[in-house]
Amino acid sequence: MFEYFYNEIFRSVIIGFGSLFNGIQIKKKDESDDTFSVVKVPLAYGPTQKFLARLQQNPDLNHPTQMTLPRMSFEFTNLAYDPSRKSTKTQTMVVTNANGEEERKTFLPVPYNMTIVLSVYTKLNDDMLQITEQIAPYFQPGYTIPIKFLGDYEEVVNTPVVLENIDMTDEYEGNFDTRRALIYTFTFTAKTMLFGPLTDVTKDIVKKVTVGYVAGSKSGKYERDITYQVTPRAIKDYDGVVATLLAENVDMVERVIDVEDGTKIPEGSYIYIDQEEMYVETVTGNKILVRRSQDKSPIQNHVLGSKVFLINQADNVKIEVGDDFGFDGNVF
Question: In this predicted model, what pLDDT tens digit does every residue of 29-64 receive, in sequence order?
Answer: 888 888 888 889 988 887 766 655 555 555 554 444
- CA dist 328 and 232 (Å) reads 7
Q: Identify whether residues 238 and 284 lie together within a single domain.
A: yes
Q: Identify whether residues 167 and 271 lie together within a single domain.
A: no
What's the pLDDT score for residue 211? 43
State the CATH number of the domain containing residue 282.
Answer: 2.40.33
Q: Which domain, by its residues, includes 50? A: 9-200
- CA dist 19 and 28 (Å) reads 24
- CA dist 248 and 234 (Å) reads 26
pLDDT above 80 for 139: yes
Q: Identify whether residues 92 and 146 lie together within a single domain.
A: yes
Domain boundary (156, 178, 200) is at 200
Residue 286 in any domain: the answer is yes
Q: What is the DSSP string of 36-93?
A: EEEEEPPEEES-HHHHHHHHHHS-BTTSPPS--SSEEEEEEEEEEE-GGG---TT-EE
Q: Identify whether residues 172 and 250 lie together within a single domain.
A: no
Residue 1 in any domain: the answer is no
Number of H helices and number of E strands within the chain? 4, 19
Number of domains in the chain: 2
Spatial neighbors of 173 by CB under 8 A, at least 6 apart, are none
Residue 237 in any domain: the answer is yes
> Cα angle at 237 between 231 and 238, to 5 degrees?
85
**Parallel, antiparallel, or unpaired: how do β-strands 228-233 and 199-200 relate?**
unpaired
Q: Identify whether residues 146 and 293 lie together within a single domain.
A: no
Mean pLDDT value across residues 109-124: 90
Question: In this predicted model, what pLDDT tens digit does every residue of 179-197 receive, in sequence order?
Answer: 567 889 999 999 998 877 7
